Amino acid sequence: MKVYLLGAGPGDPGLLTLKARDVLARADVVVYDALANDSLLGHARPDAEIIYVGKVAGNHALPQHEINALLVAKAKEGKVVARLKGGDPYIFGRGGEEAEELLAAGVPFEEVPGISSTIAAPAYAGIPVTHRDFASSVTIITGHENPDKPGSVHNWQALAQSASTLVFVMGMKNLPDIARNLLTAGLAPDTPAALIYRGTTARHRSLVSTIAQLPEAAVAAGFTNPSVIVVGKVASLRDKLNWYEQKPLLGRSIVVTRAREQASGLAQSLTELGAEVIQCPTIEIRPLPDYAELDAAIARLADYGWIIFTSVNGVKYFWQRLAALGRDSRAIGACRVAAIGPATADALRERGICPDFIPERYVAEGVVEGLKAREAGRLAGMRMLLPRAAKAREVLPEELGKAGAVVDVISAYETVPAASRKDEVVARLAEGSLDCVTFGSSSTVENFLELVPAASLKAHPTTLLAAIGPVTADTLRKHGLEPHIQPEAYTIPALVEAIKAHFAKA
């Protein structure tokens, strides 16, 4: 048994430490709070017990003493427990209290530091909390004091007269009192001061003012918790060094409907451009219960003139069966190999196979046209193997069959509907806070519209629809929905660039 107190970082999931990631990957139980980016739960084992104990102002899912008891109880069941806390557990995270409870109960523990919002949020806003020309120290202060109590735990005069950068957390409610106390203690009214809301996340925004004017500026700009307050000359660097707020998709909320196994490239690219990515996979990729038919086809690969792969998943599961049969890429032998597009081609190259053919248009029709041209006069009777999803468009085998080829369509995997984060997507759509929904295939369109009716999308025209290619776009139109964004090349990188270009014009 053991409990790990993990710092989840300030919000950007990329700021999780490698050690914290590794602990999550082996934990039996993950206990997480409201400030930990829930995408980090993807690092947990699929069979791990996930428990939410989030606390936000005025709403505690579980009181602190019950959290302490939960950690002890789970550990004493002989389990490895990962306690995932926003920022760093020991910087206003009550991690020290949890550690003391564990120690008293005889439960071994480790603290894995996380990157604190007190330094990360200013950094993303272009504010170094120390700088040789402005401040050689930084003071981290809770802003959660009760302004009505007779005394203060803070020495306001010492804070005001120091040359230290002052960083207040959990202080938005008390911002007028913080400013007044500092000014009363002698801080110059024109001292630069900044606010950073949800620093390092896709909802990050900041402003710079003076300490005297900051409370009024906060109200005018609608700043609330969670915001970090920075007071000191370093705040004047924000306008010069503010790199994060230059990201082209910052503040945009984009839904990715691809299966989780396929979504990582699209989600990562959008995240790197600053978008808030909501992964709502509408399909789940699963292996088949029986591979007898595919195994039989692999045993007679020498009979085929072409193997045609129409997806990365087709490549993945075909090679899994090769391995299960004790074979590898050499089994392809003299067969020529076609890939429907660049991503599928890359998946083949990773396995040592350079595709013999990639169409100019990355759709089934493009494969048919290209193979007809390459095999003019030779298609009659030629056997082709098409390992693909259990359900897919029939254009490719039907058209090649009309040209005389014998196409063995064999299932390599299946797709089933999924509904992860449906409620969140529906709620965000209703409140008008979804900027875009992306579709990477016709099946994602069909399955998404099973979760969210087309009428709901029509009722919120500010939510844009992005289709990866013409087939997917036509499926949207079939449901009375017009795609707003469609790249010229039918690839994920092209889709990302098209989304970026569209919002750049907005």
Q: Mean of the per-residue pLDDT values for the chain?
A: 92
Binned at pLDDT 50, 70 and 90, residue 60 comes out as: low
User: Which residue(s) pair with 415 in the sheet?
Assistant: 285
- pLDDT tens-digit profile of 228-249? 999 999 999 999 999 999 999 9
Q: List the Cα angle 183/188/194 in 5-degree steps.
A: 85
Q: Are 196 and 157 in contact (CB under 8 A)?
A: no
- Summarize pLDDT for 266-287 with one digit per residue, the tens: 988 999 999 999 888 887 888 9
- Residue 384: active-site member: no
Residue 500 a catalytic site member:
no
Span 314-333, mean pLDDT?
Answer: 95
Q: Angle formed by the axes of helices 260-272 and 312-324, to 10°?
A: 130
- 283-296 pLDDT, tens digit per residue, is 788 899 999 999 99
pTM reported for the whole predicted model: 0.80
d(CA 490, CA 473): 11
Confidence band, pLDDT 50/70/90 cuts, at residue 56: low
Give the Cβ contact number of residue 392 at 10 Å: 20
pLDDT at position 417 over 80:
no
Task: Identify whether 55 is a catalytic site residue.
Answer: yes
Active-site position among 12, 74, 88, 170 = 170
Taking the CA atoms of the chain, what radius of gyration do you get in angstroms? Answer: 28
Q: Give the active site residue among 2, 19, 55, 316.
A: 55
* Ordered structural domains, the chain, with CATH: 2-114 (3.40.1010.10), 119-246 (3.30.950.10), 253-282+418-505 (3.40.50.10090), 287-415 (3.40.50.10090)
* Per-residue pLDDT at 4: 98
Output 42 or 196, whichever has higher pLDDT: 196
- 33: confidence class by pLDDT, cuts 50, 70, 90: confident
CA distances from 496 to 109, 436, 470, 506 (A): 43, 12, 16, 16
What is the C-alpha to C-alpha distance for residues 258 and 459, in angstroms, rounded to an integer?
A: 23
Which entry of 28, 33, 88, 408 is annotated as an active-site residue?
33
The predicted structure's pLDDT at residue 126: 98
Q: Which pLDDT belongs to residue 148?
A: 57
Distance of CA 166 to the CA centre of its chain: 32
> What ranges make up the beta strands (E) of 178-312?
192-197, 205-210, 227-231, 253-256, 276-279, 283-286, 306-309
**pLDDT band, residue 422 (cuts 50/70/90):** confident
The predicted model gives 19-41 an average pLDDT of 88
